[in-house]
Amino acid sequence: MIIRVVPGQGARLEAPEDFKGFKVVVEGGLAGAALAAALGPAGRLDGAHIWVAQDWLRGASGLAGTATWDAGLAGMLGYAETKGWLEPGTGAIRGHIERG
């Protein structure tokens, strides 16, 4: 999954069925407060990472509720949990920022 953040467009989910790769691609030099604002409900900026809200991810996928997608997401979340990539309390998923 790729969460792409573009100035003036906000965040959008690409490759929602790719459960092996999870990252946030930030375009246009967005940083700091401008990046945090562009994320909107998708997530929260935390240094070199973004905590992506699971509810946003489900809604943005357009596939939530289908057995195959839900199972894939559950597997991805299970793996993320073993690595410490789920935020305690919120369950948000830590995504590494790449610059596009």
What pLDDT was estimated at residue 90? 95
Region of residue 40 (left: phi > 0; alpha: psi -120 to 50; beta: else): left
Report residue 10 as tokens.
């906000």
Q: How far apart are CA 17 and CA 13, in angstroms?
A: 10
Q: Total domain count for the chain?
A: 1
What pLDDT was estimated at residue 35? 97
pLDDT surpasses 90 at 100? no
Report the half-sphere exposure of 92 (CA within 13 A, side-chain side).
18
pLDDT digits 0-9 by tens, 14-45? 999 999 999 999 999 999 999 999 999 999 99
Question: In percent, how much of the chain has pLDDT > 90?
Answer: 97
What pLDDT was estimated at residue 54? 97
Ramachandran angles phi, psi of 98, nearest 5°: -120, 145
Q: Which domain, by its residues, includes 63?
A: 2-99
Residue 50 vs residue 48, higher pLDDT? 50
Of 50-54, 57-61, 96-100, where does mean pLDDT reach its minimum?
Answer: 96-100
Q: Which residues pair with 3 in a beta bridge?
A: 13, 24
pLDDT surpasses 90 at 93? yes
